[in-house]
Structure 1
Amino acid sequence: MLVAVGPYGQSQPSCFDHVKMGFVMGCAVGMAARALFSSFSCFRIGMQGRELMGGIGKTMMQSGGTFGTFMAIGMDIRC
């Protein structure tokens, strides 16, 4: 695969770089959205302390991984 070189000598990001960037962006957005929604629901049912942090952290990681995977697939299709 040929890599295009810009006017100042820098090369364009590869397809793998696009997929990585899509995963990281999707992971960040998924984790942020899940932190907001899960914190409200956990507070509503009365979680406190360690239980609260564990519940929010677990759902943040799950949502970030799922949304990151879908964003990576979308970036791969665009590539």
Structure 2
Amino acid sequence: MPVTGGPYGQSQPNCFDRIKMGFMMGFAVGMAAGALFGTFSCLRIGMRGRELMGGVGKTMMQSGGTFGTFMAIGMGIRC
């Protein structure tokens, strides 16, 4: 029996799209967490100005990439 689409003729996303969506969601959540924790830790050690922005940006990218990778792996396992 052929697989039918969802309601209104929509089809389900394939596995690669799900993994990509999981990475993007995890990256967004990781960036938000990195902004909070990165700002706090950089201010605590006395960074100001351009140094502060660079430190917070680095922390946001690292935490976003890490959490995004784990979310992508989780979505891949569910496929």
- Give the TM-score normalised by structure 2: 0.91
**Count of aligned pairs:** 78
**8 Å contact 1:4–1:12 — kept in the other structure?**
no
Cα distance, 1:69–1:6 mapped onto 2, change above 3 Å: same
**Alignment deviations for residues 11-53 of structure 1 (CA, whole Å, 9 cap, x no partner):** 1111111101100010011110111011011111111010000
> How far, CA to CA, are the matches of 1:41 and 1:55 in structure 2?
9
Match of 2:72 in 1: 72
What's the C-alpha RMSD, in Å, of the aligned pairs?
A: 1.4
Task: Tell me the secondary structure at the aligned position of residue 9 of structure 2.
Answer: coil
Q: Name the % identity.
A: 81
Unaligned runs of at least 5 residues, structure 1: none
1:7 Cα deviation from its structure 2 partner: 3.2
Match of 1:21 in 2: 21
